[in-house]
Amino acid sequence: MPSFVPDLPVLLGFAVATFVLMITPGPDMALQMSRAINYGRAHGLAAMFGAMTGIMVHTTLVAFGISVLILAAPPLFMALKIAGAVYLIWLAWQAIAHGGGLRLTEAAKKVPTLWQSYATGLGINLLNPKVVLFFVTFLPQFVEAHDPAAAGKLLFLGAQFVVLSIPLGVLIVFAAEKLADAFRRSKWVERALNWSFAAIFTAFAATILTAQARH
């Protein structure tokens, strides 16, 4: 077995942890659902793959120690928290004022491109300091500190996280798309859903601002 592949017990333990994390609601999941509901599965999947790209970026940063430097510098970490919270609040405002990807009407004038949905998914993931905290504090526990192949194993586990997360993400996107027609039948449901997504994004913004760097 290549040196960068962790032992089987480690792979199985990390798989369980990945599943638990993926079924926990977060801003990534909310965005993927909203894009699928409003613009179809392609946009939901694009947002999901944007988030998965963000996961690989975080994994790479952890593997090479850059995220640790961010957490060790309080001003940088605070800037990350503020940027992430502002981004989510902006999405919440878009949901209420302009639909902003959460509008359920068939005649929405401005439909984002797949690239825009992908970029939004990537942005939410990269600007979420809780993701940084998770990968900095949790991921390294699956490798030995003095293992010469530690960086390779961290990258392998990050790839495993993405591979295991994709099926659940696809299921969520397809389920959200199936619900879209039912939502469109009622203007009241449409407005309630937009406000609900706005509330979700705002709540996650508040949660991000309370994130504390752990050493």
Per-residue pLDDT, 101: 44
Per-residue pLDDT, 105: 44
Per-residue pLDDT, 42: 94
Per-residue pLDDT, 170: 93
- pTM, full prediction: 0.71
Per-residue pLDDT, 134: 72
Contact 129, 77 (CB under 8 A): yes
What size, in residues, is the chain?
Answer: 215
Who's near 173: CB < 8 A, 6+ residues apart? 32, 33, 36, 41, 44, 45, 48
Measuring CA to CA, which residue among 157, 126, 125 is closest to residue 140?
Answer: 157
Q: Provide the residue-wise pLDDT of the chain in tens; the chain has 215 residues.
A: 677 788 888 888 888 877 877 776 678 888 888 888 878 889 999 999 999 999 999 989 888 887 677 667 778 767 767 876 777 787 677 666 655 444 444 444 578 899 999 999 999 889 877 777 777 777 777 777 677 888 888 899 889 989 998 998 899 898 887 776 666 555 665 566 667 767 766 776 776 666 554 44
Per-residue pLDDT, 22: 75
Per-residue pLDDT, 4: 76
Q: What is the dihedral of CA 145, 146, 151, 155, to 10 degrees?
A: -50
3-class secondary structure per residue, 123-144? HHHHCCHHHHHHHHHCHHHHCC
Contact 213, 133 (CB under 8 A): yes
Dist CA 214 CA 196 (whole Å): 31
